[in-house]
Structure 1
């Protein structure tokens, strides 16, 4: 994604997405807790945004109904050779409780890493 820039009538820059705090949504999806499992979790890579900083949020639980006694999802962001990679996993590995679903949102900031 290219930077977004705007200018006033005199030609002075008013906004530059590379330098101003801006988030561009690049992915939003529901994560099935049962599919994540209790091992290393799942990984999602974003090679099309290599070299750029990402911002990740995960809302868990993300479902209707009582979730007392459920394990919630967690996420971590790292960069493998400059490629943003999100790991989704379960912190509480108690085998007897179900795993909640989650809503993942990943944004590109426009900033280089």
Structure 2
């Protein structure tokens, strides 16, 4: 089990890249999966780095990651969360966090 960050307003936290956060209800940037955290403490630690800290109304929801450290739309729905829509289905997704550009979103290839 792992955790995703969820907000009723913004949706599921998909990930971040170059200082921008992406949420399933606001702008999922066609990402088919969301970053997960191995513990509540790690998720809280991650949110503490954000300007303003942990957003009000955010909860941590347990999910079963099905793509490495990521939970696909289907995994999130199985956990009782709302799904999101992506523009085009992808044949392959490379799940790789790149420290060089500080991205936590899956890379479409």
What TM-score, normalized to structure 1? 0.22
Q: Select the structure that is richer in strand.
A: 1
Larger Rg: 1
Higher relative contact order (CA 8 A, sep 6+): 1
What TM-score, normalized to structure 2? 0.23
